[in-house]
Structure 1
């Protein structure tokens, strides 16, 4: 609806920048997501989960990526669009026809406001929701340890230093069980049992071993101590998540919980600054798309001839955006320890945007006078 109300010129600039934005955002997200997905391949290769679980777990990180990448993608798209218009002398022609910088800036601002709305929605609602879903999914994966150790003839690593092997499954019984526990070096413990079964009791899960032995080695190089047993219960509850009490991190909290935190909660009392920093980070994120658009336009949005060097403006814009974003992250980290850093959290993007606006509207560009040949003027006005 916003696009339909725009004049043809503004619609052209809006459409070109929007297409570039979605292309850059898809490319950046794909690259970052691939690197994260490669680290989660353990879900499929060693923990026996399905490809669907793998895609769900890795896909739930996309909202967090989008909040960081969307302003950067918008900045890159706007630089590309403005540089292309300048390279083809389109901005020069528009300026010679009486098109002021405000008309060129309006479609870019409209796009930045839409992206800001998207970033705000992701920050305030989608990220905590996705992180909670991710925690639930990981808990279910860990709770699926029973399915993991029931795989016949395979050595399954439940966690680092704990390996389980089952020779055969017969009904509800497990035959030929081997468990190696080296989580507390230099101590190593090996459990061997003829048979066993999974038992759930009182909210806890146990691997009950029958007719076996425990070999315990306290130090490397010494002979192990061997104890024979008829029945032994190995506690699996720490790996199923059954005994865990859910305590959400500040990033996993709903925004309403950050605005009105429970001051009696132990998690809040131990780190109130992290709750404060997380809240203001969510609220300030929508400012960056608008700020980045203004910086890009201030750098290369004014008319330039093909003889004028645009590389300097592009590099200056990249440096300014990097400084603002890094400064914002630093201010957010500082907000954990001091509440006065909130001034810098909001002040950096706002001040950068106002400075860019001043550069845009400070006066006519000297390039305009020599920009367009007079032969282009009638066509431009037409």
Structure 2
């Protein structure tokens, strides 16, 4: 690799990291707000929020990595063109195909990064995230121990704690159970304690009152108690997942155990084929994206107004490839043997790039060159 190739490749990688950081930050902030409200609102700690944020990062990076590669290629190629570095290289006889070598190498590096994400990091993070969600859903204590807030752990149930002492004593507890449409039950206690026993969580209230209202007869019964035990394990409905997410299945399992997964977990062969080959096609499309960003900007000649038209055209091509990726998944879901369609955006992107480089090296002549008349006296 020549010094020029190393220089351009370093510029691609530098701005790729910059654009990837910006895009990941934007997407992460939008999701972190919702995640923060859900976790902190359920009484979870800041460490749990950071853990969930870290587990969602591989999926965010997978979404923005092709866009960052495209933006880096367009930006660096435009800067090389505006600073006449490409013009100098072309003046020495270097053609567009030779100048495309750094973009191709950059696309291969982006493909390797995407491969690590789709085949290793993303399935592992989704699997771990699903396990942590189940564990947190079963952690009733964290969801209920919130001071000064009316909580609704399940439809028809309201829970309130005025204050929690350092030793775990709950002060001034209010519990309303309206899940039975015929009977509304309300329990209040001066103090209360949460006790766990073999997967069951009991709320023991001390010095309180229980009120039961029959909505049909409008009869209210009141009972004072010194201590009262209420099973709150049933307040929160926990979904038992019998099957794992298809995105959490490892690539080796998809390749070698497809029949067992289809039989035991209910996924169709089309779903397994789509998931497996999407992981490869998402990586290979990075090559097409990088080459499109470079080759499209090589179509135009030098202009004081820049290459904004070529950049806009490259962006439209990127949208076309993304739209195509969304359309070709349906035939694969119906028929697993149609999996080669998933690589069509990559092949089309590379073909378009090669065509653009062909035009950049030998521009088409829209008008025939006029013939030069012969000189007088020439034989």
TM-score range, shorter-chain basis? 0.7 to 0.9
Greater shift after overlay, 316-325 or 96-105? 96-105
- The yes-or-no answer on 1:58 pairing with 2:53 is yes
Deviations 1:20-49 (A, max 9, x none): 111111111100100000111225642232
**Range with bigger deviation, 46-55 or 319-328:** 46-55
**CA offset at residue 213 of structure 1?**
1.9
CA distance in 2, matches of 1:224, 1:298: 80
2:312 to 315, 318, 327: 315
Please give the root-mean-square deviation of Cα atoms over the aligned residues, in Å: 3.3
Are 2:19 and 1:24 aligned?
yes
Pair 1:167–1:366, CA change in 2 (3 A): closer
| CA distance in structure 1 between the aligned counterparts of 2:182 and 2:281, rounded to whole angstroms | 49
Query: Cα deviation per residue 1:220-274 (whole Å; 9 max; x = unaligned)?
Result: xx94754748645334256485x83553111122223322136376763255543
Query: Does the C-alpha gap of structure 1 residues 159 and 263 become closer, same or farther in structure 2, counting only changes over 3 Å?
Result: same
Flag structure 2 segments of 5+ consecutive residues without an equivalent.
Answer: 365-379
Task: Give per-residue Cα distances to partners, 1:272-301, cap 9 Å, x unaligned.
Answer: 543332222112111111011121222113
Matched ranges for 1:131-150 at <5 A:
131-150=126-145
Partner of 1:292: 289
When residues 263 and 238 of structure 1 are mapped into structure 2, their CA distance, relative to the original with a 3 A threshold, is farther
Equivalent pair of 2:147/2:163 in contact (CA under 8 Å): yes
Whichever of the two has the greater Rg, that structure is 2
1:302 touches 1:365 (CA, 8 Å); kept in 2?
A: no
- Of the three residues 173, 177, 180, the one matched with 1:177 is 173
The CA deviation string for residues 51-93 of structure 1, in whole angstroms up to 9 with x for no partner, is: 2221221221111111121111111111111112222222122
The SS at the match of 2:93 is coil
SS of aligned partner of 1:350? helix
Q: Does residue 198 of the first structure (1) align with residue 200 of the second (2)?
A: no
CA distance in 1, matches of 2:110, 2:182: 54
The number of equivalent residue pairs is 359
For 2:295 and 2:184, the matched residues in 1 are separated by 65
Residue number in structure 2 paired with 1:324: 321
Alignment match, 1:251: 247
- Which residue in the other structure is 2:258 paired with? 261
1:71 to 49, 66, 70: 66
SS at match of 1:165: strand
Relative distance call for 1:246 and 1:352 in structure 2 (3 A) is same
What's the TM-score, normalizing by structure 1? 0.81
In the superposition, the TM-score normalised over structure 2's length comes to: 0.81
Aligned position for 1:3: none
Tell whether the 8 Å contact from 2:12 to 2:72 is kept in structure 1 after alignment. yes
For residues 358 and 47 of structure 1, do their structure 2 counterparts lie closer, same or farther at Cα, with a shift above 3 Å needed?
same
User: Aligned in 2, Cα 1:344/1:167: closer, same or farther, shift over 3 Å?
Assistant: same
Instruction: State the alpha-carbon separation in 2 of the partners of residues 225 and 271 from structure 1.
Output: 55
